[in-house]
Structure 1
Amino acid sequence: MKDYRHLSPSEIDTLKKNGCTHHDWSLVWVKENFKPDYIRDTVFSGEIKLGVLENVFFLEGGIKKHACINRAVIHHCEIGDNVVIENVQNYIANYCIGDNCFIQNVDVILVEGRTTFGNGLKVNVLNETGGREVHITDKLSAHFAYIYSLYRHRPKLIDRMKGIIDFYSEKHASDRGTIGNNCVIVNVGYIKNVRIGAFCKITGTMKLKNGSINSNKEAPVHIGRNVIARDFIVSSGSRVDGGTIIERCFIGQACHLDHGYSASDSLFFSNCQGENGEACAVFAGPYTVTHHKSTLLIAGMFSFMNAGSGSNQSNHMYKLGPIHQGIVERGAKTTSDSYVLWPAKVGPFSLILGRHYKHSDTSNLPFSYLIEKDNTTYVAPAVNLRSVGTIRDAKKWPERDRRTDPHRLDFINFNLLSPYTIQKVFEGIRILKHLQHTSGEASEIFTYQSCIITKSALKRGLELYYIVVHKFLGNSLIKRLEKTPFKSNEEIRNQLKPTTDIGLGEWIDLSGLIAPKSEIDLLLNRIENEEITTLEEINNEFKRLHENYYEYEWTWAWEKIREFYEVTEETITAQNVIRIVEKWKESVIKLDEMIYDDAKKEFSLSFKTGFGADGDIQEQELDFEYVRGVFDKNPFVMATLQHIEEKRALGNELIDRIKSIK
């Protein structure tokens, strides 16, 4: 064997004197500079490869530990350089262990038979009884899983995707496990058929069975105390700790599960957090967050979602069993003790308050409040647009991206406003106007999807939807014309002309990736026709769509600008642009002022209740000020005021640049 040699007779004698045994020492291979001095009381069997033991580990508290193998039973293993393997209660079997690993106080680590280490494992997501199962892999993205679980109306596509997964799983199958370089495995119980990536830290874990831990130097994984995991994949940069129990789960990049969280048949994609509560058959898209003991997420699809304490859903009505599912589109929130009876669909950036039983579909009324009153769902369209919480969430998501792995699985678009949400705003305008027309403007209430919309809520919703349309289309126009000097209307028209036709028509949100539906359909056709045959090729297509988002966005926005403002590509003038920008300025400032007023509510007298507990009103206000700060100096408030000035200046700059053009 290259780089290895047999043991010398003197080395065998030393090992025997140190209490080590092997039924056939000729099966032991060692590196050239191997010395047996630091191997004691160890039983070897099968073919063994040993590296050198030269370095010293510096442990917390000032302890030094020389590389060694002590008190262990090791079968059919390859062990790298400078490891500590000590106090193995049962045995380590069929593993390749990397350099600089520290393995101490473990029960058993083994691979039995040929295994795929969790790849190809079936997860019954959304429907516990099957039908939307996702077969997980190391390279699973939220976008691939979205298509694989929801596009069951294209059986040929699903069959091709399953074939791609099977190929990948078989390619990575082995009867030998790996523990990468620089791993720490201490005080651990049972590990079976688990592949462990480099720089992984596993401490105090109870049981790991049939899975992959895709740790690496740039994004280490930590598996902590009392964790039990069966049939799983944990992606780079994630942390699973504090008695978490997972079964048949995929954990995406930079996720954090802790404090006794339990999950089965669920997928968690980038930057999800789960603490205290439980999940069953959940598709948790990027940034799905749940922190509370009494919160259950079940049979639902979520993303950019924050679940309040006591949030709950039901996926059966005591008839045909748990076959129902729900979709809560990106950016939604649930308040404490909210409840939704599946099936139901909730539009993006909505807030769910109370208990809802009507199986409503508000997907085309984005930014809404769903409020329960007298067992009826009342919808307040668009009001979440003026909420300070909505804007704060949109700002914090990119700031809280904890992924450090340069090879990202999910391609996440953080934009609050996009062709995906604005197309729903346009549809919301159409719906509300249709309700006005059919029911009459004199009506005090309107019925939509088994929900109630009051007259005042409908009127306010239309006003806010128009404001946000002006804001988005104006944003796109100004961005397109920025930093360019123009001398004529013809030059403006040339700049406005899109560079591609891609982007026209409907857009979709594939759990974080916002893209034109036409391009996704084209990708799916290529998969069906076997033009694309690997996971890597599919992920590269997702990456391309993500990287070209703004180019495609402009194609869509320019078409809507022409329709909405009744201009044409051949005749638009500088004066038309100025009119649009003035409307944009007015809308942006008006929306920011609403957000400013909403933020101000949190500094009102009623919100100071409980502060200055033993004093008068003056002390109450002082206590509040020292804890929460002064309103005018609040960072978000200051940023909002600055945003108003910046947008006003941005609009004025463009107007000044083109106003002389005739």
Structure 2
Amino acid sequence: MNPISKQPISDIGYNFIPAAYLPKGKDEYYLRNKQNRSGINYRKLTALEIEVLVRNRNASDNWNNILVSDAFNPELVKNCKFFGLVRIGKLEPYYLEFHSIKLQVGLYNSTIISCDLGDNVVIDSVHYLSHYIIGNEVVITNVHEMGTTNYAKFGNGILKQGEEERIRIWMEVCNENAGRKIIPFNGMLPGDAWLWSRNRDNDALQQKFKEFTELKFDKLRGYYGKVGDRTVIKSCSIIKDVWIGSDAYLKGANKLKNLTINSSAEASSQVGEGCELVNGIMSEGCRAFYGVKAVRFYMASHSQLKYGARLINSYLGNNATISCCEVLNSLIFPAHEQHHNNSFLCAATVMGQSNIAAGATLGSNHNSRSADGELIAGRGFWPGLCVSVKHNTRFASYTLLAKGDYPAELDIPLPFSLVSTDTAHDQLLVMPGYWFMYNMYALARNAWKYIDRDQRIDKTQYLEYDFLAPDSINEVINSLELLEKYTGKALLKLSKDKKLIDADYIKAGKKALLNNEVPDDLEITADGFENSKRKVLLLKVKKSYILFKELVDYYAAEQVLQFIATNKLKSTDDLFGKLPKKQKRAAWVNVGGQLIPAAELDKLKQRISTGKIKNWDTVHAFYRTQAQQYPHQKLTHALSAFYEVTGLSKLDKSNLKDLLQNYLYTKTWMVDGIASSRAKDYTNPFRKMVYETEAEMEGVTGKLKENSFILQQQEELNTTKATVQKVIKQFKL
């Protein structure tokens, strides 16, 4: 039986805060008065104004509880019912126009219960508007129900007075079994979500994160919903316990419940037709439209959900787009794209700059004994069409998965790899360095694209978009040893020495690779990449080994050149005196898209656990500090990597010149690779066959010689050449 109770009409609009939760000496409006910062001076209605309101078919339970500003015009209020304390700002004879819709300022055909209305608002055909503070020049029209409860939390995972722990809203990210669940809160950054989802063996740290979140809010009941200035809400069905910022646009939504929708004049948020959003937070500049369903979710700034997408128990990072598909129990770092039909992502941590293709099924727990598997993908993860993988699976940075079914768990440690399955020979194929060999255009353009599309206003976390950075370079260096080991194993396969260990294989493989003594027909296999008995074949090992060593040099040279430019150094004495001394290469961690040295992160966690850090604001200050220190940390890491791979102990005039010349050589073939990989699209006969003439093809795809990105890269190369020559001359190298 539905719990419908009968109460006196005179109670409508009053006793919003239950007596048990009303502080001594306070009335039910004390929080409302604190929230309302409009600065409007209210007065009671005059007898004439009441007469006009009654004539215009308005009704109130108590006209003395209708307070208005001096510029109130009663002729602009028609056919409305008022209950409780209602405060109304200016109503002047204007109309508000938005997207060709023109609506007269005023209150019409609505039921308004205990609300504060700003200046020159339009409230028209709102069947039920209860306990909201409305800003100036707001339009709300054709809304069925819009109300706030006394225990509203606006999407934050907090508890109000008298509520039990069991009703707290958690987001069960990364794992379907809720073992990595986190509490959403307004202002949560990707790094916060990642930190909280990890470290499950540190109970003190986990408890501190919960305390930090509860400190951001109080447990008091009685907060009103808010609608910021110039927000437009039209043709929505149910809006309940929703806090809405300024300049937002809500149209045609089915149900919006327990939400914060952050929005501002600089970054307007939108919710469109058919959307159902429950228990979530949208940051500035977000958009959700065309049938989106989202439950227990967080959308970081400038992210989008569209075309029927479903986002459940998931965190979506900044500047990300999900459409036409289903994402469950996932933590997604910034710059993620998943915009094709029927792709499925579940129980995953995807570390940004990723692109999920149509038909991809990433993370089905139906092939394991319990729903507790996970997928972890480093930056630049690109699974191809109709890929399916099994939990648990882990991928290094910039892994490209070719179309196919991968029947066993994968652990791919080699970055920039193409991974494919050879069903004819029942083997897994891994080609390290694929992107640099065959698709330099896509790799470089994506790095540029993510920077260009970063619309964040709050850049507390510095997001790394370069494909060569501390995380990927560490993987490159680790890969060098792996390639040496697997090459050595292949070379010594027929050795009679039964006591060979990894160090022997590495020594033999390194010697052969450095001296170009690896036979072209040598079959090099790897172990530990796939949880199966089938062969894992490594392709183009010699080429990728040389390539990876070049990348380390390139990374170091680029950081040195940036250091010279930033500090305006004029001589080698200046440079060598200020460069970091040789250090051991440090481990780095991708913390929500921001790369942070592991040692610094450990210090942070220790300070949180011991109570030295007391709130999320201080954690965010740590992110900002790390962002400021990042250029120097990156330089130190680059030199450490260079010294480790080359065996050098320091930079001097001779090896600095070699480093810069090698950098130019690598930069040149990279730019040539950008142009040549794109040129394939213009020479491939199968791509050309759909066009009658070459002119038609150029009319559709654009002229290769006019490709703006290629031209930009070539111009950058010319600038780099001039810069390097200037340094060599100025430093007398």
TM-score, scaled to structure 1: 0.92
**Could you say which residue in structure 2 is the equivalent of 1:534?**
615
**Could you say which residue in structure 1 is the equivalent of 2:48?**
10
User: Deviation digits for residues 86-121 of structure 1, max 9, x if unmatched?
Assistant: 1123x1111111111111111010112212111113
Alignment of 1:28-177 (within 5 A): 28-54=66-92, 56-59=94-97, 64-89=102-127, 91-120=128-157, 121-170=169-218, 174-177=222-225
Structure 1 475/136 Cα, relative in aligned 2: closer, same or farther at 3 Å? same
Greater CA drift, 544-553 or 220-229: 544-553
Which one of 392, 408, 412 corresponds to residue 463 of structure 2? Answer: 412
Residue pair 1:350, 1:384 contacting (<8 A) in 2 also: no
Distance across 2 between alignment mates of 1:79 and 1:625? 57
Write out the 4+ residue segments of structure 1 that deviate beyond 6 Å after TM superposition. none
Distance across 2 between alignment mates of 1:426 and 1:15? 78
Task: State whether structure 2 residue 428 is matched by structure 1 residue 377.
Answer: yes
Which one of 388, 396, 400 corresponds to residue 347 of structure 1? Answer: 396
How many corresponding residue pairs?
645
Which one of 719, 723, 728 corresponds to residue 646 of structure 1? Answer: 719
Residue pair 1:611, 1:623 contacting (<8 A) in 2 also: no
Which one of 436, 439, 445 corresponds to residue 392 of structure 1? Answer: 445
Q: Which amino acid aligns with 2:613?
A: I
Percent of counterpart pairs with the same letter?
Answer: 22
Q: Which amino acid aligns with 1:290?
A: Q
Distance across 1 between alignment mates of 2:409 and 2:682? 37
Distance across 2 between alignment mates of 1:557 and 1:215? 40
Residue pair 1:504, 1:516 contacting (<8 A) in 2 also: no
Distance across 1 between alignment mates of 2:199 and 2:490? 36
Alignment of 1:521-600 (within 5 A): 521-569=602-650, 572-600=651-679
Structure 1 469/61 Cα, relative in aligned 2: closer, same or farther at 3 Å? closer
Distance across 1 between alignment mates of 2:524 and 2:644? 31
Task: State whether structure 2 residue 728 is matched by structure 1 residue 655.
Answer: yes
Task: State whether structure 2 residue 233 is matched by structure 1 residue 185.
Answer: yes
Give the SS at the match of 2:349: strand
Question: How far 1:34 moved relative to its partner?
Answer: 2.3
Question: How far 1:628 moved relative to its partner?
Answer: 2.2
Question: How far 1:132 moved relative to its partner?
Answer: 0.6
Alignment of 1:178-217 (within 5 A): 178-217=226-265
Give the SS at the match of 1:134: coil
User: Deviation digits for residues 259-302 of structure 1, max 9, x if unmatched?
Assistant: 11112111111011111111111212111111111211111111
Greater CA drift, 557-566 or 192-201: 557-566
Structure 1 607/474 Cα, relative in aligned 2: closer, same or farther at 3 Å? farther
Distance across 2 between alignment mates of 1:62 and 1:285? 38
**Could you say which residue in structure 1 is the equivalent of 2:406?**
356
Task: State whether structure 2 residue 485 is matched by structure 1 residue 434.
Answer: yes
Greater CA drift, 512-521 or 9-18: 9-18
Distance across 1 between alignment mates of 2:626 and 2:580? 20
Question: How far 1:42 moved relative to its partner?
Answer: 1.0
Unaligned runs of 5+ in 1: 614-618
Distance across 2 between alignment mates of 1:486 and 1:111? 65
Give the SS at the match of 1:113: coil
Residue pair 1:139, 1:409 contacting (<8 A) in 2 also: no
User: Deviation digits for residues 378-400 of structure 1, max 9, x if unmatched?
Assistant: 11111112322111111111111
Distance across 1 between alignment mates of 2:220 and 2:482? 51
Residue pair 1:183, 1:198 contacting (<8 A) in 2 also: yes
Which one of 22, 25, 38 corresponds to residue 63 of structure 2? Answer: 25
Distance across 1 between alignment mates of 2:652 and 2:461? 41
Unaligned runs of 5+ in 2: 1-32, 34-39, 158-168, 492-517
- The alignment's C-alpha RMSD in Å is 2.3
Residue pair 1:102, 1:182 contacting (<8 A) in 2 also: yes
**Could you say which residue in structure 1 is the equivalent of 2:707?**
634
Distance across 1 between alignment mates of 2:703 and 2:179? 54
Which one of 481, 490, 494 corresponds to residue 577 of structure 2? Answer: 494
Q: Which amino acid aligns with 1:462?
A: Y
Question: How far 1:225 moved relative to its partner?
Answer: 0.7
Residue pair 2:394, 2:410 contacting (<8 A) in 1 also: yes
Distance across 2 between alignment mates of 1:382 and 1:45? 69
Question: How far 1:214 moved relative to its partner?
Answer: 0.7
Give the SS at the match of 1:603: helix
Distance across 1 between alignment mates of 2:106 and 2:574? 74
Question: How far 1:172 moved relative to its partner?
Answer: 8.7
Give the SS at the match of 1:355: coil
Residue pair 2:353, 2:465 contacting (<8 A) in 1 also: no
Question: How far 1:329 moved relative to its partner?
Answer: 1.0
Q: Which amino acid aligns with 1:330?
A: R
Distance across 2 between alignment mates of 1:280 and 1:260? 14
Distance across 2 between alignment mates of 1:657 and 1:453? 50
Question: How far 1:190 moved relative to its partner?
Answer: 0.4
Structure 1 147/55 Cα, relative in aligned 2: closer, same or farther at 3 Å? farther
Question: How far 1:306 moved relative to its partner?
Answer: 0.7
Which one of 387, 395, 411 corresponds to residue 338 of structure 1? Answer: 387
Distance across 2 between alignment mates of 1:455 and 1:31? 77
Distance across 2 between alignment mates of 1:484 and 1:84? 58
Question: How far 1:126 moved relative to its partner?
Answer: 1.5
Q: Which amino acid aligns with 2:653?
A: A
**Could you say which residue in structure 1 is the equivalent of 2:19?**
none
Question: How far 1:401 moved relative to its partner?
Answer: 1.9
